[in-house]
């Protein structure tokens, strides 16, 4: 499961790691929530980073308002899902750029948020799929994405019990492979494993991050990522 994540790097930092064209309206996000726009790089346009909505809307949907969740795609089940299987088959793969993600410990009955980061990289990519929906009346185009998930490693599993899920985090070498259109589907799915425990860290953050909107304003500020204790 990955329903909230962070991408807080400045444009110049993104350009050092990914030599792509960036959208002029990109802004750091400390609490990137469903329907908000995240930064992705697609296999179709690997030289350009695009802003797309988090939460995939299939091209065949009647509207952008769905009655089921498409924030994540379970990698073990994806080829049996009509929402996601055609996207992987036709290589609508993408890198979802991030520098951390949130998960919540609910074992005590409270909802305690944790921020997960990588020890060896301060900027990385989730494996993702993307889609384009078009309104048949207005012609409006809505691009969106989902994040692939897999069984959690130990560090994430301790927090995300009992679901034991985590986003698929790609190594630098795997990023290029995920965008490749020359490999078979089994080869792509083989990348969807848990990131090594020893290369990850996490820390508690304030429950203020739990809200996506506060008094009608999007809850997005650096303080949300600060460690407590």
Per the residue annotation, which of 94, 103, 175, 192 is the catalytic one? 103
Q: Find the DSSP H helices in 41-167.
A: 85-89, 154-157
Does an H or E element contain 105, and which?
A: strand 100-105
Catalytic (active site) residue 175: no
CA atoms within 13 A on the CB side of 29: 23
Distances (CA, A) of 226 to 4, 20, 45, 204, 209: 16, 30, 35, 8, 10
Greatest CA span in the chain, whole angstroms? 53
Catalytic (active site) residue 2: yes
Per the residue annotation, which of 2, 94, 192, 202 is the catalytic one? 2
Residue 22 DSSP class: P
Report the candidate in 189, 197, 216 with the shortest Cα–Cα distance to residue 88: 189
Catalytic residues: 2, 103
């Amino acid at each position: 499961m990955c329903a909230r994540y962070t991408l807080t790097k400045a444009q110049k930092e993104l350009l050092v790691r990914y030599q792509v064209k960036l959208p002029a309206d990109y802004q750091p996000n400390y609490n990137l929530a469903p329907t908000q726009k995240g930064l992705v790089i697609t296999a179709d346009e690997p030289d350009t980073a695009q802003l797309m909505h988090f939460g995939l809307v299939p091209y065949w949907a009647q509207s952008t308002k769905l009655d089921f969740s498409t924030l994540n795609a379970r990698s073990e089940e994806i080829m049996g899902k009509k929402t996601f299987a055609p996207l992987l088959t036709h290589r609508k793969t993408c890198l979802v750029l991030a520098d951390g993600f949130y998960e919540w410990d609910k074992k005590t009955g409270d909802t305690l948020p944790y921020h997960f980061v990588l020890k060896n990289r301060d900027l990385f990519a989730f494996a993702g799929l993307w889609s384009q929906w078009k309104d048949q009346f207005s012609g409006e185009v809505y691009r969106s994405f989902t994040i692939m998930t897999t069984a959690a490693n130990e560090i994430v599993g301790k927090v995300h019990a009992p679901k034991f899920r985590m986003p698929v985090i790609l190594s630098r070498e795997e990023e290029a492979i995920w965008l490749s259109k020359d490999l078979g589907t089994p080869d792509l799915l083989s990348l969807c494993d848990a990131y090594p425990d020893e290369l990850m860290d996490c820390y508690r953050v304030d429950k203020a991050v739990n809200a996506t909107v506060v008094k009608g304003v999007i809850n997005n500020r650096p303080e949300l990522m600060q460690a407590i204790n």
